[in-house]
Amino acid sequence: MLSRIPKRGKFLALSSSILPNTLKTPFTPRALSLLASPKIQLSHKTPQSSYKPLSRNYHEEKIYGYRTPKVQVLPLFNEQQLLNRQKNARLVRFVDAFRDFGHLASNLDPLGIHGRFESVDIEHERYGFTDMNEVFDLIGILHINKSKTDLSPKESATFGEILNHLKTSYSDNIGFEFMHIPDMNARKWFANSVENESFSPSITKEDQSRIFELLSKSEVLEHFMQKKYPQVKRYGLEGAESMMVSLDQLFKLTAESKIEHAIMCMPHRGRINTLTNLLNFPARKIFNKVQGKSEFPDELNISGDVPTHFFSDTTLNYNNGNSTKVSLIPNPSHLEACNPVALGKARAKQIDLYNKLSDPGCEIGDKVISVQLHGDASFTGQGVVMESLSLSNLSHYSAGGTVHIIVNNQIGYTTPVENARSTIYTSDIGKMINAPVIHVNGDYPEDVLRSVKFAFEYRNKFKKDVIIDLVTFRRWGHNELDEPSFTQPLMYQKIRARKSVPKIYEEFLVSKGIKTQQEIDADRAKWFEEYEQERLASINYVPEVTTFKGKWSPYKIPTGNEPEVLTGVDKQMLVEIGNQSVTASPKITVHPRLMKFHIQQRLNKLKAGTGIDWATAEALAFGSLLAEGHPVRISGEDVGRGTFSQRHAMLVCQKTEDAEIPLNNLPYPGASKLEVANSNLSELAVVGFEFGVSWESPNSLVVWEAQFGDFNTTAQVIFDTYLSGGESKWMHQSGLVLLLPHGYDGAGPEHSSCRIERFLQLCDDPFFINQDRPHVPNMSVVFPTTPAQIFHLLRRQIKRDYRHPLIIAGPKTLLRLSAATSTLDEMAVGTSFKPILDDPQSSANPDAVTRVVLLSGKIYYDLAAEKAKRPDGDKIALVRVEELCPFPKKQIAQILDQYKNATDYVWFQEETLNSGSFTHMYPRLNQLLEPKGQKIRYIGLPIYATPVTGVSSRQKAEMAENIASLFANL
C-alpha cells in the first residue's frame, strides 16, 4: 500500500504551503485580496473549457474518427463566496490541505502493517485553530449537510464540526487524490461530491444481502476447489473478495446508466471466481478443464489455455429491467498485456454503435465502458501500463474513460512493496494522465461500494480515466501450492491470525440483525452443494464453440481447402478511386511540392495505366474496400504522411492546418470511411490496441504500420501472446495487418530489419511439407516486390471468409523505384495475389537455366540489374518467394520442375544468416529438392550480432562480393 513515507514531522517537503496554487484552489488569499480590490472586476463567469496543455486544433477535428468530448463546466465562486473565502483564508487553506493530504491519514491497510500516517499538513494547530467551538461561515469553502435527512448545506459550523467532517470525508476508510488534476471543474466536482452526503449512496438491506452473497459465495468456491482440486493452481481471490463487490456495483451502475456494453480485462488472480460468481460462466466448464480436458471440441485440434485465462460474454440484469453486456476478454500470461487490447476493443465497439445510432449527441464512452483490473506490482512495474494510459485521452484511441481497479494485495510474487516500486502508492503512475485516485480499504465492502460510485460518476461525467486502489491482502502465496512465509513471515503471521473478509462481514450482519448465523450457514451449504452438482456435471460435459457468433458468424476456421480468392477490381473504378485519393476540396491549399511530385504524378500514372507505385496501389486497395462498404483504419507513427513521405492519405491545408482525407469523399453509395490514426510514439500499446480493434471489427481492414521495421520489436509481447496464438488458445481470430518497412537503406543496423525471422518462428507452418493433412498456418508472412502484390494482399485480407494476421515486410527503397511498379491490368478483374513470381526472362527459355536462385524482397531488383548486364545471365533464374508462410510448396515445386536442366539451387538474401527467412526456407526447400538429389545453397551475409553492419562502405563491399559469388562459375 504505502511505502517510503517519512516519520511524523518529516513530511514538510509536501507541505501545502509550497504546492502550486493552481493545484489547490483557484483563489489564493492574495488572489482574493486582488479580486476584492476596487480596481479588479469580480467575475462570475463559468470557465469555457477544460484544461488541455499546449492545445492546438492540429488536424484532428477535421479527420474521421476524431471525437470531441463535451466540456463539463461548473460555476465559479460568486461574489459572496469569494469574499467569504478571503475573510476565512486560513480555513480555505486547511480545507484544501485535507483535500490534498487527507488520504495519507486514511485507514487503508487491512493488515495494519503501515497504519495511518499523521501528516503535519492536516494538523489544525498549524493553521492557528485552537477553539473547537469557534464558528465559521462555510459559504464557498466547505459543504456540510444540515442533517441526515436535510442534505442542504449548512451556512456555518463550529471548527469541531468542520474538523470531524473533514476527517470523515477524507481520512476514513476511503482516501481521495484529486487535487493534482489541472482541470478546476474536475477538482470542484470531486470536492462537492466527497463532502456532500447526498452523493454517497445509502446502503440498503438489499445491498448488504448482495454484498454478503458475493463475498461468502466466492469464499465457498475457494474452499470447494481447495477440497476437490488441492493440486490445482487457481490463483484465488481470498483476501481480496471485495473485488467482487466493486465489479458488481460498477456493472449495476453501468446498466442503470444505459451503457450497453462493458469491455473488461483482468489478470489471472480471482478470474475463476469472477467468471463463475459474477459473469454467469458455468462452473462445470472450469471443473472440466482442471480435470485435464479441453474446453473446445477435440476434433478442432485447438490447444486451449489454462482456466485462469478463460473469457466470457454475458448479459447482467439488474433492478428495474436494467441490463448490460459484459465481455471479459481472453488474458495471456504476460501481465497487463491485455490492457491496450481491451481499450482497442472498447473503442471499436463504441465507434460501431456510434455509426449505427447516427446520434450527434452520442459521445465516446456513452454506450461502452472500458473496465480494467490490475495487480499492484504489475501496475507499477509493467511499461505497457504507462503506454496504455498515454492513449487514454488521444482522439483516435480514447474509449471515453476507463475505470481501473487495482487489486492491491501489497506484494508482488514474493517481492515486498519496498522493492516493487519507487512511489508511495502503486496508483501514482496514473497521475501522468491526471487521473483521480480513490484508495479504499478492502476490509470494508460497503465503503468499496461507495468508492465505485465516485469513480463511475466521475468517469461518466468527464469521460476520463479514474483509478480505484482497492487495498487488500493475499491469504496464500503466489498460488495455493506456495509457502509465502519463506519470504514474508511477519506479514503472514498477521494474515493467518485474522478472520477472512467474508467472515468479518457476516459477523457484522449478524450483529445488526440483518442475517442470522443459521441463514448464513444454510446459504454456504447450499452454494457448496451447487458447486458439487456442477462438478458432477463436468464429468460428462461436452464442450461447444461459442466464438463464431454475431458479427463473426460469416467467418470460419479455415480447413486448408479454401479456393483462391480473386481480388481484382474494374479498371475504370480504380482510376476513379485513384483520382479521388489525391483530390482535395477547394478549401484545402495543398503544398506545392505535393501538388507537383505526388498528386500530379499519380494522376498521370492512373491515366496511362502504368507505372503504378506502392503508395498508389495501397490507396487503390483502401479505396476499393471502402467503396465496397469495408471500413479501413491505419494506425502508427506518422501514417497520414507516411514515414518516407510516400502516402499522404491526409492533405493538410498550408494556410489553416485543416486536414482532409480525400478517400472519405468517394462517390459511391454506402462507402465506408478511412480512419487515419497518427499515434503517439508507442508500439506495444498501439499494436495491442489495434489488435483489440481487429477482434471487434472483422469487417474492417485494420492496419498498423511501424515507422521503421525494427520498431515492431518493442511490441513483441503482443505478437507472442495474442497475434500468434489467439486462435489456437481461444478460437478468436484477428485480421490485423502489420506493415513493417524492411531492408537496408543506410538508416542504421537496427532500422534495416523488421526481424522477419521472428515472425516466421511464430508461425505453425508445417515443418514436414509432405504431410497430407491440409493446414492453414496461424498467420501469413509476406515480402512482396510489386505494388500489384500489395494491392491484392490488402484486399485478400478482407475477401477471405476467415481472419488471420498478415505480416508484410514492406519496402523502403522500392517505394519510388521505377522498376518496382505495376500496371492497372495487374489489378484488374480476374487477378489475384501470387505467392511466387517466376523470372519473366528465364521462364521464356527455361532449358537454358542451370542455376535457380530463390530469394525474397527488394534484393531481386539488384540481382535482376546484374543479370541484365551479363552475357550468361540466361543461365540464372531469379525466382521470388513473395509469401514465405504459408510455405508455397505447390508453386515452388512447379517452378523447379520447369527448370529441368538446373543443377544448382541457391537461396540468396541480403540479411545475415541468422536473420531473414533462410532458416525457415532451408529445411522446406531441401525436402522439395531431395527427390532431385540436390540441396539448397546459401549466399548472403554471415552470422552477425546485428542485422547488418553500420558501416555503409563495408555493407556495399559485402553485397558486391555476394552478388559476384552468385554469378560465378555459370
Rounded to 5 degrees, what angle do the CA atoms 732, 733, 734 make? 125
What gap in Å lies between CA 78 and CA 42, rounded to an integer?
A: 8
Q: Which of 942, 1, 960 is nearest to 471 (CA)?
A: 1
The yes-or-no verdict on residue 580 having pLDDT over 60 is yes
If one compares 34 and 772, the residue with the highest pLDDT of the two is: 772
For residue 467, what pLDDT is reported?
98
Give the three cell numbers for residue 13: 517537503
Task: Please state, in angstroms and rounded to a whole number, the distance separating the CA atoms of residues 785 and 512.
Answer: 76
User: What is the residue whose three cell numbers read 495474442?
Assistant: 722
CATH 3.40.50.12470 fits 571-742+783-827, yes or no: yes
The helix (run of H) or strand (run of E) holding residue 601 is helix 600-608
Beta-carbon neighbour count of residue 889 at 10 Å? 17
Asked if residue 970 lies in contact with residue 903, where contact means CB atoms within 8 angstroms, the answer is: no
Q: What percent of the chain has pLDDT over 70?
A: 92
Q: Which CATH architecture has domain 205-290+305-544?
A: 3-Layer(aba) Sandwich (3.40)
With CA atoms as reference, report the closest residue to 136 among 121, 154, 118, 150: 154
Report pLDDT for 61.
67
Helix and strand counts by DSSP (H, E) for the chain: 30, 26
Averaged pLDDT, 243-254: 98
How many angstroms separate the Cα of 62 from the Cα of each of 133, 589, 652, 839?
60, 15, 10, 47
pLDDT at 43 over 60: no
pLDDT band with cut points at 50, 70 and 90 for residue 4: very low
- Other C-beta atoms lying within 10 Å of the C-beta of residue 279: 22
* Residue 28 banded pLDDT, cuts 50, 70, 90: very low
Write down the mean pLDDT value for the chain.
90
- What pLDDT score was predicted for residue 751? 60
pLDDT digits (tens, 9 = 90+) for 914-929: 999 999 999 999 999 9
**Reported confidence tier of residue 44, pLDDT bands at 50, 70, 90:** very low
Taken as a whole, the chain contains a residue count of 970
pLDDT beyond 90 at 546? no
290: Cβ–Cβ under 8 A, 6 or more apart, which residues? 225, 229, 232, 234, 307
- Let me know: does 692 contact 372? Beta carbons within 8 Å: no
CB 3 within 8 A of CB 418: yes
Tens of pLDDT, residue by residue over 869-914, are 999 999 999 999 999 999 999 999 999 999 999 999 999 999 999 9
pLDDT band, residue 776 (cuts 50/70/90): very high
Rounded distance between C-alpha atoms, residue 314 and residue 217, angstroms? 19
The residue extents of the domains of the chain are 80-199, 205-290+305-544, 571-742+783-827, 837-967
The predicted structure's pLDDT at residue 57: 61
Residue 854, beta-bridge partner list: 879, 907
- What pLDDT shows up at residue 359? 66
- What CATH number matches the domain at 837-967, 3.30.70.360, 3.60.15.10, 3.30.70.100, 3.40.50.11610? 3.40.50.11610
Give SS3 for 38.
Answer: coil
Q: Which pLDDT belongs to residue 750?
A: 57
* Greater pLDDT, 188 or 62: 188
* Mean pLDDT score, 443-458: 97
| pLDDT tens-digit readout, 785-800 | 999 999 999 999 999 9
C-alpha cell at 1: 500500500
* Amino acid occupying residue 500: S
What is the pLDDT at residue 74? 86
Give the separation between CA 142 and CA 867, rounded to whole angstroms: 85
Order the strands of the 876-881 sheet from edge to edge. 836-837, 876-881, 851-855, 904-912, 936-941
CA dihedral sign of residues 14, 17, 20, 26 = positive
Cβ–Cβ contacts within 10 Å for residue 586, how many? Answer: 5
Look at residue 55 and tell me whether its pLDDT is greater than 80. Answer: no
| Tens digits of residue pLDDT in 831-878 | 999 999 999 999 889 999 999 999 999 999 999 999 999 999 999 999
Q: Which residues of 674-689 are buried (b: 16+ CB within 10 A; e: fewer)?
A: bbbbbbeebbbbbbbb
The reply to whether domains 205-290+305-544 and 571-742+783-827 share a CATH topology is yes
Q: Is the pLDDT of residue 434 over 90?
A: yes
At residue 42, the pLDDT reads: 37
The mean pLDDT of 568-574, rounded to a whole number, is 98
* pLDDT tens, residue by residue, 454-503: 999 999 999 999 999 999 999 998 888 889 899 989 999 999 999 999 99
- Where does the pLDDT of residue 47 fall: very low under 50, low under 70, confident under 90, or very high at 90 and above? very low
Q: How does DSSP assign 286-348, residue by residue? A: HHHHHTT--SS-GGG------GGG--EEEEEE-GGG-EEEEEE----SSTTTHHHHHHHHHHH
Strand segments, DSSP code E, in 383-537 are: 402-408, 411-412, 415-416, 437-441, 466-471
Cell numbers linked to 94: 486547511
Cα separation, 255 vs 511, whole angstroms: 32
Give the helix/strand (H/E) hosting 85.
helix 79-87
DSSP state of 44: -
Q: What is the pLDDT of residue 576?
A: 97
Residues 391-428: tens digit of each pLDDT: 999 989 999 999 999 999 998 888 888 888 999 999 99
Give the model's pLDDT for residue 68. 67
Min mean pLDDT across 329-343, 489-503, 540-554, 736-750 is at 736-750
d(CA 172, CA 106): 5
- Which cell numbers hold the place of 957? 563491399
Rg over CA atoms, the chain: 32
Query: CA of 113: how far to CAs of 380, 448, 579, in Å?
Result: 21, 20, 70
Rounded Cα–Cα distance for residues 922 and 680 (Å): 39
Q: Is the pTM of this model over 0.85?
A: yes
pLDDT score recorded for residue 298: 85
Q: Quick one: pLDDT at residue 970? A: 86
Cα 391 to the center of its chain, rounded Å: 9
Q: How far is residue 698 CA from its own chain's centroid? A: 17
